[in-house]
Amino acid sequence: MRIQLGLVDKPQNCASLAVARVREKAKAKAKKEDNANVMRIKGNNEFKRKDYSTALLHYMDALKVLPYEVKTLTNIGQAYIKMGMLEDAEEFLTR
């Protein structure tokens, strides 16, 4: 006797669920990237105003979301350079 498991017992339903999960993950990843990009752009705006410490706060927030984003790491390095903190700049520019 076969136990009915609902939707998952049919191969086409398993495939549909798998596709749905992949789409959900892709959507979540895109949202995460968008959030990090918004934070990085806020940092860029502060950098242009020469408020490097506030720019760093935004860049660090972006880095928490996407830890090894090259643009963000570069921006952090540039902010540290502008602040005269060359060792800190090197740390982020060599990651």
List, run by run, the mean pLDDT of 10-residue segments along the chain (95 residues).
56 76 88 94 98 98 95 98 97 93
d(CA 58, CA 13): 43
Question: What pLDDT score does 28 carry?
Answer: 86
Question: What pLDDT score does 13 carry?
Answer: 72
pTM score, whole prediction: 0.77
Under 8 Å between Cβ of 33 and 41: no
Question: From the DSSP assignment, how many helices (H) and strands (E) are in the chain?
Answer: 4, 0
Question: What pLDDT score does 10 carry?
Answer: 65
d(CA 84, CA 94): 17
